[in-house]
């Protein structure tokens, strides 16, 4: 797709809108949003009214389809003050893109413009009690029934389940094994047999509640299959890549916000007759955090660029960006809290919120260990397909098979 209409001026203007929201109403209510884990409607409405939610949707359905290089800046800008706000941008994407990609024209025309305007909410329901990292364990079954299906299963940790009007449910057709048996279905909240459990209390990310979703004999007509039967994981692939880049942007935005606050604190707090920021050990801490964040930001922006160019290897690079940014985000928010001393530990200061929120980025959309596994396999595959000119393993093997006696 072409992003030619996203000129540098338009890009700067859109990022400035996000910055004004972050410095204005969204930043101002971020602490209050974190106090009670209910969906932060005011923040969501601001994001819809400003056109930020629309950047994730195609022009044909009323969106503005911003390139990923713009999206990551928007997400980072919001995460600098409020994880919930940033997660509403990435979460709308996670829940909306499968509908954009897989719904038939009539269904898409009915639903997507309303998702763009925030009149409808959707949730993405993949994870289950025994199937998180390992989707092969997915047990929700879609049993064929006439020209449709009947769904049975339980989905766990589903973000926005408490407010969603529609659910994209990934299920195993007729209980067959393997990823090819996974299909995605669109189910309305009021479908007979669908029940949403109570909000699951969690460590952080207040403002975007998660809950279990129970499916007991839920009938899905043929036109609510997203994409093709057995194409559930293929359909989710683009969504998951986008979500991983989004997690990297949230982690970096939040860590950048924590560093900004820590540096302000170090410019004011005095110990041993000097400002904290005048002690060399503190300067070095700030310098290392700033440098690592900038390096991680370069990696994330390079991945965003790959995404926009349609690079076929974007997926593994998205894993690298997510792994690096989210592990770094955890470390930086922890160290920034440390610089606030006892105050950092108090709810009165936002650092403990930033640290608690950082943890989820290391778990959601593939935990760090899973991304390490994917990257490690990629490194091995790439190495097997090439030969380093300084290393001759064939010659080494031959020598070992028929060793010369030492002279
Ligand atoms: C707040 C929240 C919101 C969420 N929102 C959604 C949502 O909207 N929709 C949705 O579908 N899901 C959602 N999830 C689920 C999330 O994507 C999963 O929690 C995540 O993928 C990890 O799966 P799991 O929790 O089952 O952990 P497990 O798969 O049980 O893994 C546990 C730990 O073991 C590690 N591990 C697993 N296998 C290996 C291995 N082979 N080698 C080394 N380490 C390994 C993992 O990295 C992890 O650290 C959400 C989760 C949370 C907490």
pLDDT of residue 404: 76
Map 155-217 to HEC letters.
EEEEECCCCCCEEEEEEEECCCCCHHHEEEEEEECCCCCEEEEEECCCCCCCCCCEEEEEEEE
pLDDT of residue 237: 85
pLDDT of residue 136: 85
DSSP 8-class letter at 118: T
**Which of 76, 128, 352, 365 does the annotation list as catalytic?**
365
pLDDT of residue 282: 98
Which CA distances in Å does 293 have to 9, 289, 333, 366? 26, 6, 11, 21
pLDDT of residue 402: 83
Question: Strand 141-145 and strand 148-159: pairing?
Answer: antiparallel
Please tell me the CATH code under which domain 122-229 is placed: 2.40.110.10
pLDDT of residue 31: 95
Q: Is 157 in the pocket of ligand 1 (CB under 6 A)?
A: yes
pLDDT of residue 238: 87
Mean pLDDT, the chain, rounded, equals: 95
Q: How far is ligand 1, taken at its centre, from the CA of residue 79, in Å?
A: 22
Please tell me the CATH code under which domain 234-384 is placed: 1.20.140.10
Q: How far is ligand 1, taken at its centre, from the CA of residue 323, in Å?
A: 14
8-117 folds as: Butyryl-Coa Dehydrogenase, subunit A; domain 1 (1.10.540)
For the beta carbon of residue 28, count every other beta carbon within 10 angstroms: 12
Q: Same CATH topology for 122-229 and 234-384? A: no
Q: Is 302 in the pocket of ligand 1 (CB under 6 A)?
A: no
Does the pLDDT at position 2 exceed 80? no
Atom of ligand 1 nearest to the CA of 200: 1
Give kind and range of the element (H or E) at residue 202. none
Secondary structure (DSSP) of 56-100: GS-GGGT-----HHHHHHHHHHHHTT-HHHHHHHHHHHHHHHHHH
pLDDT of residue 210: 97
| Half-sphere exposure (Cβ direction) of 37: Cα atoms closer than 13 Å | 19
Segment 11-39 shows an average pLDDT of 96
Report pTM.
Answer: 0.96
Segment 175-184 shows an average pLDDT of 83
Q: Is 171 helix (H, G, I), strand (E, B) or coil?
A: strand
Does the pLDDT at position 1 exceed 60? no
Atom of ligand 1 nearest to the CA of 134: 29
Q: How far is ligand 1, taken at its centre, from the CA of residue 129, in Å?
A: 10
pLDDT of residue 180: 78
List, for residues 119-129, the tens digit of each pLDDT value: 999 999 999 99
Segment 210-218 shows an average pLDDT of 98
Domain boundaries, the chain: 8-117, 122-229, 234-384
pLDDT of residue 37: 86
| Atom 6 (ligand 1) nearest CA | 158
pLDDT band at 16 (very low <50, low <70, confident <90, very high): very high
Secondary structure (DSSP) of 311-357: -TTHHHHHHHHHHHHHHHHHHHHHHHHHHTTHHHHSTTSTHHHHHHH
**365 belongs to the catalytic site:** yes
């Amino acid at each position: 797709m072409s992003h030619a209409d996203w000129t540098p001026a338009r890009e700067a203007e859109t990022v400035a809108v996000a910055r004004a929201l972050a410095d204005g109403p969204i930043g101002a209510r971020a602490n209050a949003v974190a106090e009670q884990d209910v969906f932060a409607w005011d923040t969501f409405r601001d994001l819809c009214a400003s056109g930020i939610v629309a950047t994730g949707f195609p022009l044909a359905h009323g969106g503005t389809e911003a390139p990923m290089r713009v999206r990551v800046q928007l997400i980072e800008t919001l995460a600098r003050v409020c994880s919930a706000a940033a997660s509403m941008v990435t979460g709308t994407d996670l829940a909306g893109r499968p509908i954009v990609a897989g719904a038939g024209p009539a269904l898409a025309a009915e639903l997507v413009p309303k998702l763009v305007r925030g009149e409808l909410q959707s949730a993405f329901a993949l994870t289950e009690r025994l199937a998180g990292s390992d989707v092969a364990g997915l047990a929700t079954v879609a049993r064929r029934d006439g020209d449709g299906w009947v769904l049975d299963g339980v989905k766990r940790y589903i973000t926005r389940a408490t407010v969603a009007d529609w659910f994209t449910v990934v299920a195993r057709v007729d209980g067959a094994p393997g990823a090819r048996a996974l299909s995605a279905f669109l189910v309305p909240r009021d479908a007979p047999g669908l029940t949403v459990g109570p909000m699951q209390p969690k460590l952080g990310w207040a403002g975007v509640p998660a809950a279990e979703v129970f499916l007991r004999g839920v009938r899905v007509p043929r036109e609510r299959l997203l994409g093709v039967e057995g194409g559930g994981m293929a359909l989710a692939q683009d969504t998951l890549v986008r979500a991983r880049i989004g997690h990297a942007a949230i982690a970096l935005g939040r860590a950048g916000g924590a560093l900004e606050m820590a540096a302000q604190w170090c410019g004011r707090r005095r110990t041993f007759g000097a400002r904290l920021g005048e002690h060399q050990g503190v300067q070095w801490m700030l310098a290392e955090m700033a440098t690592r964040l900038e390096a991680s930001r370069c990696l994330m922006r390079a991945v965003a660029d790959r995404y926009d160019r349609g690079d076929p290897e974007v997926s593994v690079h998205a894993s690298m960006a997510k792994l690096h940014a989210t592990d770094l985000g955890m470390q930086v928010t922890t160290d920034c809290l440390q610089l606030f001393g006892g105050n950092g530990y108090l709810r009165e200061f936002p650092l403990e919120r930033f640290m608690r929120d950082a943890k989820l980025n290391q778990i959601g959309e593939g935990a760090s260990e899973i991304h390490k596994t994917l990257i490690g396999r990629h490194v091995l595959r790439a190495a097997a397909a090439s030969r380093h000119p300084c290393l001759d393993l064939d010659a080494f093997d031959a020598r070992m098979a028929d060793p010369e006696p030492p002279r």
